[in-house]
Structure 1
């Protein structure tokens, strides 16, 4: 009898799936063949597909027993070759490596509340794509984002914020203002618009923009549903 991996024990109760363009997948194509941990990908399209398959394994509770032992730790200590850089939220319910069923050395993960950008966050993303040569930069928003919810409330009832909380509100406010008066759930709308805003801002980077324009880098946005577990590519 196989012993469940630590990763599976932690995530059995959760369900996640990456879907795009409304394409239906068979059970076999969803689970797919898992590449070796740390294996390279040729381009952003392949990187997205690897994330999709990993996320689908997470959905099906068929997570790969990734090599996270001593040998793997020693191997990545000598060098790293991640295949994607991902900007996500600090929300504890969105552990990005687990969501995409990836292991040591596979992903460059940068997290900030609501995906808010500052010099450090942008510089970290630039490092991932320019110095570590990941062919994919993914911006991941998520359902019921607390940072954007707090921004909505702060704009509805302006008040002073201690520390740097006011910076977060100011940074996320444009997305909230843009969805004002539009139909649908304000918070959900704000999350989607914020992903678009972040991508637009990253495309102004003198490091990121040329890489995308040359075809060496693909930028993409996605939305993670806490309820269903699905990670859906933004169109």
Structure 2
């Protein structure tokens, strides 16, 4: 199969791969001995995936891709720091990837810990706290339960799913606002940045946020 070159082609390839994974009809492309040998000289991944370190959300598996296809960056709770942004910029600016995915998932422990910290004031100990500290800004602006919402109605407490989606959206916006290189690539049409949510039970990814043209995927 020809390597995807445009953001739309890259997104289409990943949508098709995820559909194969959901159906249990994986093709396991780009994993043969010959391809492995070809990649020893250089790599040219078509997409960067920035996701959570959760052991149940391995990008190459859930998108049914192989060696050399995806440039993967992972942190617990897909929290952003300068090395993460530098790694993503490397995938786009040096390796030529035309798509960046921020891949969140349901039942995320980092999001749950951030929500608990906001609700109870209890913070984890050690360096795990640094993860929670970086998730909190994503969800702290969501309305508090009981806040008036017009017509005398009160807003309900955000669900865990809503908190996770907000964290994905916020992460996408952080990448665009912090990285001139990424925002320029998107503005020029050379790259798109998408926020996705992965469902642990059915294995399907769903689009949450998009910057750039990826067609009808």
Q: 2:160 maps to which residue?
A: 187
Gaps of 5+ in 2: 146-154, 210-217
Do the aligned residues in 2 keep the contact of 1:40 with 1:81 (CA within 8 Å)?
A: no
C-alpha deviation, 1:160, in angstroms: 5.0
Separation in 1, partners of 2:91, 2:36: 20
Q: 2:172 maps to which residue?
A: 199
Q: 2:133 maps to which residue?
A: 170
The structure-2 alpha-carbon separation of the partners of 1:158 and 1:111, relative to structure 1 and needing over 3 Å to count, comes to same
* Matched position secondary structure for 1:234: strand
Match of 1:211 among 173, 185, 188: 185
Separation in 2, partners of 1:103, 1:48: 15
1:121-146 deviations in Å (ceiling 9; x for gaps): 11111111111111101111101111
Q: 1:96 maps to which residue?
A: 59
Paired residues for 1:100-139 under 5 Å: 100-139=63-102
* Matched position secondary structure for 1:198: helix
Q: 1:6 maps to which residue?
A: none
Do the aligned residues in 2 keep the contact of 1:148 with 1:191 (CA within 8 Å)?
A: yes
Separation in 1, partners of 2:157, 2:196: 19
The structure-2 alpha-carbon separation of the partners of 1:89 and 1:213, relative to structure 1 and needing over 3 Å to count, comes to same
Gaps of 5+ in 1: 1-35
Separation in 2, partners of 1:49, 1:124: 23
Paired residues in the alignment total 198
Matched, 1:60 2:33: no
Do the aligned residues in 2 keep the contact of 1:43 with 1:217 (CA within 8 Å)?
A: yes
Separation in 2, partners of 1:184, 1:45: 36
Separation in 2, partners of 1:184, 1:96: 31
Separation in 1, partners of 2:57, 2:173: 23
Q: 2:214 maps to which residue?
A: none
C-alpha deviation, 1:67, in angstroms: 4.1
